[in-house]
């Protein structure tokens, strides 16, 4: 502060009045705020210097706060790209369907969709039949295993 007070009288010679007034206002306000903070924070800083456990807790809380802020920024960045990809896929799909309808016409589009639906229903029924056959096979294996175990128990009881 003494440095500025020593050279403040030279400012009007080098700066125009349009810059000098806001600069002086800013300097006096910032130094006033600095002095007020220094007055109010000096007991806290003295306590932190004498009690390191409080300082370590404050450092931990600060690190935790900063890490949560960084994590939030990363989450927002990832969600931006995910939303962008979903929107591009949605609008791209809509554009492709529109192009398909435009190039084939409405009747050709309906025929294509009906053909695709019939194909995939056939695949669904084929896979459904395979699953049912697999389930019947597993049930038969389970019945054979339980039947063999049941006969083994019955024969042991008869021996005793």
Express each pLDDT in 50-86 by its tens digit: 877 877 888 899 999 999 999 999 999 999 999 999 9
In a domain? residue 34: yes
In a domain? residue 12: yes
pLDDT confidence bin for 48, thresholds 50/70/90: confident
Residue 156: is its pLDDT beyond 70?
A: no
What residues make up the domain containing 18?
A: 1-50
- Rounded percentage of the chain residues whose pLDDT exceeds 90: 51
In a domain? residue 78: no
Q: Can you tell me the distance from the alpha carbon of 14 to that of 36, in angstroms, rounded to the nearest whole number?
A: 30
In a domain? residue 84: no
In eight-state DSSP terms, residue 160 is -
Q: Residue 1 in contact with residue 38, Cβ under 8 Å?
A: no
Helices and strands, number each (H, E), in the chain: 4, 0
Distances (CA, A) of 13 to 2, 23, 26, 90: 20, 14, 19, 65
Coil vs helix vs strand at 114: helix
The encoded tokens of residue 140 equal 């038969």
Q: Can you tell me the distance from the alpha carbon of 157 to that of 32, in angstroms, rounded to the nearest whole number?
A: 100
In eight-state DSSP terms, residue 8 is G
In a domain? residue 11: yes
In a domain? residue 24: yes
In a domain? residue 109: no
> What's the structural domain count of the chain?
1
In a domain? residue 5: yes
């Amino acid at each position: 502060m003494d440095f500025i007070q020593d050279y403040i009288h030279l400012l009007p010679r080098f700066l125009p009045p349009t810059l000098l007034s806001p600069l002086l206002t800013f300097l006096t306000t910032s130094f006033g705020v600095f002095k007020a903070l220094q007055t109010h924070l000096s007991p806290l800083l003295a306590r932190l210097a004498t009690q390191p456990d409080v300082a370590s807790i404050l450092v931990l809380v600060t690190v935790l706060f900063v890490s949560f802020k960084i994590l939030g920024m990363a989450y927002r960045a990832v969600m931006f790209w995910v939303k962008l990809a979903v929107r591009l896929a949605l609008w791209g799909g809509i554009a492709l369907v529109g192009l398909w309808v435009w190039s084939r016409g409405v009747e050709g589009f309906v025929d294509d969709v009906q053909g695709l639906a019939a194909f995939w229903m056939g695949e669904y029924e084929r896979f459904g039949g395979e699953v049912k056959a697999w389930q019947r096979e597993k049930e038969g294996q389970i019945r054979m295993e339980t039947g063999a175990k049941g006969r083994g128990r019955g024969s042991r009881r008869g021996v005793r």
